[in-house]
Structure 1
Amino acid sequence: MPHVRKPKLIDERLALHADYLAQDPASLKGRWRTLLPGCRNVRVDLGCGKGQWTVAAARLRPDELVVGIDCEPMCISFAAEHAAVGGVASSGRAKRPEDGYVAPRNAVFAIGDAAMLPGFFAPGEIVHLHMNFPTPFPRKKETQRRVVGVERLAAYRPLLGEKGVLHLKTDSQPLFDYAAEQLAAAGYDIVASTRDLRSDASGFDDVDLAVSEYERKLVMRGAKLHALRAVVREGVAPNVSCEPKSLYDYLPSDLDAIDYVPLGMENALVNMRNRKRNGH
C-alpha cells in the first residue's frame, strides 16, 4: 500500500478533502443546516487551527453541524484532512475503519475570520460560537484585532440570536479579564465562568471540555484554562465606544508572583520585571 501523498501546494491539499470544505461559505448563509440531514444546531469553531477540537466536538454532537473557520488556508487543509482520515496510521497510510477511525459527517471547514461571520451566517443561525485560545494581540495598538473586542462581540449578537451561546477558552488571564469587560459593554451576560476549567467545570459541558493537542501542550507548560459562557442580554444596546486597551494592564501588580506567562507575553513580561527591579 503506497504512502498517503502529501501535496505541497495549498490548493492541492484543499482539493484532496474537498468534501469537508465549504468552498463558498457566503452562499450558505441561512442554509448551513441543509448540509446535515436532521441538523439540530449549527456550532462554529472560530479560529479552528488544524481542526482537532472541531472534529472532537463533531463526534460529541453528531446531530449538530460543526463549522471550523480559520484565516489560514494551510490550517484549513490540515483540518479537512484530520476530519477525513484522522491523520495516518503507524504504517504511514491513511487511517481506515479497521484502525478504529470513522470519519464524522457533520464537520465542515471554511477559510475566513471573525469579520466575515456576518457575511457567512444569517441572524440567529449560530447556536454555539466557540473561541478556543484566540490570539491575544496584547499590545494596545492591536486592540481591533482581538476577536473578543466590543465591536466584534456586537457583530456576533444578531448571529447568535436569543438562544445562542458564546464560549471562550484561553490560557491568558489578561485576555480573559479583558473579555469579561468587553462582553458587559457589548450587552452579554456571563452565565458560567472559571479560572481553572480542569478543576472547576461547573456550568460547562463535555464539548467545552473537549481537548486539542494545542491545549495539551499549554497544560504541560503549566497553563490553567480560563473559560466562560455568555449569552446575549436582550433589550440592551451594545456600547461600542470602549477605548483601546493593552492587555499588560490586566497583569497582577506583583509581577514576580505570576507563575504562568501566556504565550506571546513572555519577552514583554521579562522587560517589565527588569524595569520594576531597576526602579523604573
Structure 2
Amino acid sequence: MRLRNKPWASDFISQYPQYLIQAPENQKGKWNELFGNDNPIHIEVGTGKGQFITGMAKQNPNINYIGIELSENVVVLALQKLVDVELPNVKLLNVNANDLTNIFEKGEVGQVYLNFSDPWPKKRHIKRRLTYKTFLALYETILADKGEIHFKTDNQGLFEYSLMSFSEYGLLLKYVSLDLHNSNMEGNIMTEYEEKFSKKGQRIYRVEVQYK
C-alpha cells in the first residue's frame, strides 16, 4: 500500500539533523564517533515507521541502531517516533539500500535486520528482493567477521526463496522459525506489519543467518 504524500516531511526532517543524518556518506568509517561510543552498530534495512528499531534501542541501550528507509514519506514517521522517545542510540537514514557500501566501511556493522521486506513476487523483479545475492554481497562487505542477518516476514514464498538464497550464498543457518509467535523466542520486538498480520492469525517466519 502506497502512503499518501506528506508535503510537510522535508521541513520536519530538516529540524532534526541529530536523528536523521544528512550526507551519511561523510560518516563512513566514523559512525562510532557520531554515536560517541564504541558500541556495536546494527542496521535495519527498510525501517518503515520505526517501531522495531526504537523498541530494539530501548531493549538494548548498549547497541547503536541505524534505520535505513528509502521513502521520505515513511522515514518521517519513524523520525516522529524517535523524536518522541529521544533515544541516543538510534539514527535514521533516508537512502537506498544499494548505497550501503558508500555509507559504511568494511566491517563497520555488526548485524543487519530485514523485517517484512517487499516480496517483489514477480520473477522479473527478483533482483529487487533484499535477500537476493547482490544484496547479500553488499551486507557481507559492511559486516564484521561472522556478522549476521536476522530476517522476518509473513510471506511464505519470500521466506522459502530467502532460505534458498542464503544457502546458495554459503551462509550458516543458525535459527529458523516457521511460526515465530508460537515459538519459545524471548524478547521479540514486533514491527507495525507484524502486529497487524499476527492479529489476523497469519504465521510469522524468522531466520538468523551468519557469514562464515
Scaled to the shorter chain, the TM-score interval is: over 0.9
Taking the aligned partners of 1:196 and 1:182, their CA distance within structure 2 comes to 20
Q: Alpha-carbon deviation of 1:199? A: 1.4
Matches within 5 A, 1:89-128: 102-128=85-111
When structure 1 is superposed on structure 2, of 125-134 and 157-166 the one drifting more is 157-166
Match of 2:9 in 1: 10
Taking the aligned partners of 2:173 and 2:96, their CA distance within structure 1 comes to 24
Answer whether contact 2:118 2:129 (CA < 8 A) is retained.
yes
Match of 1:217 in 2: 196
TM-score normalised by L of structure 1 = 0.71
Structure 2 portions without partners, runs of 5+: 1-5
Answer whether contact 2:49 2:192 (CA < 8 A) is retained.
no
Q: Alpha-carbon deviation of 1:42? A: 0.3
Structure 1 portions without partners, runs of 5+: 1-6, 86-101, 234-280
**Structure 1, residues 85-108: CA drift from partner, whole Å, max 9, x if none?**
1xxxxxxxxxxxxxxxx5211111
Answer whether contact 1:136 1:175 (CA < 8 A) is retained.
yes
Report the 3-state secondary structure (helix = DSSP H, G, I; strand = E; otherwise coil) of the residue aligned with 2:152. strand
Answer whether contact 2:42 2:65 (CA < 8 A) is retained.
yes
Taking the aligned partners of 2:184 and 2:23, their CA distance within structure 1 comes to 37
Cα–Cα, structure 1 residues 201 and 17, in superposed 2: closer, same or farther, change >3 Å? farther
Match of 2:149 in 1: 166
**What letter matches 1:126 in structure 2?**
V
Match of 1:261 in 2: none
**Structure 1, residues 219-269: CA drift from partner, whole Å, max 9, x if none?**
112211100000112xxxxxxxxxxxxxxxxxxxxxxxxxxxxxxxxxxxx
Taking the aligned partners of 2:83 and 2:119, their CA distance within structure 1 comes to 30
Match of 1:149 in 2: 132
Number of aligned pairs? 207
Match of 1:198 in 2: 181
Larger radius of gyration: 1
Answer whether contact 2:115 2:191 (CA < 8 A) is retained.
no
Taking the aligned partners of 1:30 and 1:67, their CA distance within structure 2 comes to 14
Taking the aligned partners of 1:139 and 1:201, their CA distance within structure 2 comes to 34
When structure 1 is superposed on structure 2, of 136-145 and 210-219 the one drifting more is 210-219
Match of 1:246 in 2: none
Match of 1:82 in 2: 81
Taking the aligned partners of 1:40 and 1:52, their CA distance within structure 2 comes to 21
Report the 3-state secondary structure (helix = DSSP H, G, I; strand = E; otherwise coil) of the residue aligned with 1:185. helix
Q: Alpha-carbon deviation of 1:39? A: 3.5
More strand by share: 2
Report the 3-state secondary structure (helix = DSSP H, G, I; strand = E; otherwise coil) of the residue aligned with 2:86. coil
Identical-pair percentage: 26
**What letter matches 2:130 in structure 1?**
V
Matches within 5 A, 1:1-280: 8-85=7-84, 102-202=85-185, 206=187, 209-233=188-212
Q: Alpha-carbon deviation of 1:136? A: 0.2
Answer whether contact 1:39 1:63 (CA < 8 A) is retained.
no
